[in-house]
Structure 1
Amino acid sequence: MKLLIIYTYPNHKSLNYSFLQSVIKGSNENPYIEELQVLDLYEENFNPLLVFNEEKRRRDMHIDPSIKKYQNQLKWADKVVFIYPIWWGRPPAMLMGYIDQLFASNFAYRDKKGLFPEGLLKGKSVVCVSTMKGPTHYPFLWLNNAHKVLMKRALFNFVGIKKVKFFEFGNMESPRGNHKKKLEKIYQYFKEIKR
């Protein structure tokens, strides 16, 4: 299995960075994971802004040379791991900008007759590791599960990715947030995962 980790947090002394290290450590100890790549969007200085004009059109995003490297990473990966905070009930703008550019028509999906497109990223799987200040069940109870609906139904299923696993960790700014237990859970998951 080839694993691509997309890390979206600007601070390398953060709890999110500790989750990144737990994923890497567990993956390095997993005999089923043969290769691993990490894309740190902030360290990469990824530009999340969409620019469209007379020379650069939305329908041509799939052939934009500025994102070819990232397209190749997604093609290469069997499993994609996203690590990010949940801010205002959704992933940060940096990650959404990456999604806007990479999950484009004729790369991630292709329009066809009927209601739904053809997903071009079939066979891949996704794990989302997210953190938030509020309680773990806040998105479910107060936001009608908006985060998971956005990521799973509106994005991953749309492009053909059916296997999606979520780890939503709440109370992350609390000293009683069980940080070590949650980090260990992520480490063990990636150490043992087979597909």
Structure 2
Amino acid sequence: MNLLIIYTHPNHKSLCYSFLENVLKGAEENSNINHVHVLDLYEEQFDPILRFNEKKRRRDMHRDPNLETYRLQLLWADKIIFIYPIWWGRPPAMLLGFIDQMFASNFAYKDIGKILPEGLLKGKSVICISTMKGPKHYPLFLLNNAHKVLMKKALFNYVGIKKVKFIEFGNMEGANKGQNKKLQLVYQHVKKLVI
């Protein structure tokens, strides 16, 4: 299995980075995982801003040479793990900008004249690992799970990815919030992953 980890947090001393380290540790000990690649969007200085004009059209985004490396990484991966914080009920703008550009028509999906398009990323699976300052159930009760709906239904299912798992941790700021137990949980989950 080829594992692509898309890490989206600007601070390498953050709790999210500790989750990345535990994902890597679990992947190293998993005999089902052949290769691992980490895409750190902030370190990569990925430009999340969409730009369109007469020369650069949205319909041609799937051929943008500046995004070719990322397209190849997504095609290469059997499983994709996203690691990010939840800010204001949604992933960081950096990750949303990546999604806007990478999950483009004629790369991630193809319009076929029906209600829904044909997803072109079938066979892949996704895990979203996220942290938030507020209570774990805050997004469910006050935001109707907008984050999960956005990621699972409006994005992954649309492009053909049906296996999607969310591992969300709330109340994560401050000392004694059970971080070590949660880091261990992520490590164990990745250590036992199958495609």
> How many residues are matched?
195
Q: Which amino acid aligns with 2:49?
A: L
1:72, 1:5 → 2: CA distance? 14
Partner of 1:165: 165
CA contact (8 A) 1:126 1:163 kept: yes
Q: Distance in 2 between matches of 1:141 and 1:175?
A: 25
Equivalent in the alignment of 1:79 = 79
Q: Map residues 49-128 of structure 1 onto 2, 5 A cutoff.
A: 49-128=49-128
SS of match in other structure, 1:159: coil
SS of residue paired to 1:83: strand
Distance in 2 of aligned mates of 1:174 and 1:137: 18
Q: TM-score, normalised by structure 2?
A: 0.99
% same residue? 68
Runs of 4+ aligned residues of structure 1 deviating over 3 Å after TM superposition are: none
Structure 2: how far apart are the matches of 1:17 and 1:190? Answer: 15
1:87: Cα distance to partner? 0.5
Aligned residues: CA RMSD: 0.6
1:45-67 alpha-carbon deviations (Å, 9 max, x no partner): 10001000000000000000000
Deviation at 1:177, TM superposition (A): 1.7
Paired with 2:177 and 2:129, the residues of 1 have a C-alpha distance of 15
SS at match of 1:158: coil
Distance in 2, Cα, partners of 1:177 & 1:94: 27
* 1:44-102 deviation line (CA, Å, top 9, x unaligned): 01000100000000000000000000000000000000000001110000000000000
Q: Which residue of 1 aligns with 2:31?
A: 31
Tell me by how many angstroms 1:174 deviates: 3.0
* CA drift at 1:170: 0.3
Query: What CA distance in whole angstroms lies between the structure 1 residues aligned with 2:70 and 2:164?
Result: 20
TM-score between both structures, scaled by the size of structure 1: 0.99
Task: Report the Cα distance in structure 2 between the residues aligned to 1:174 and 1:188, rounded to whole angstroms.
Answer: 24
Aligned partner letter, 1:146:
A
Distance 1:23 1:57 in 2: 37
Residue 153 in structure 1 maps to residue 153 in structure 2: yes
1:2 counterpart = 2:19: no
Match of 1:182 in 2: 182
Unaligned residue ranges in structure 1 (runs of 5+): none
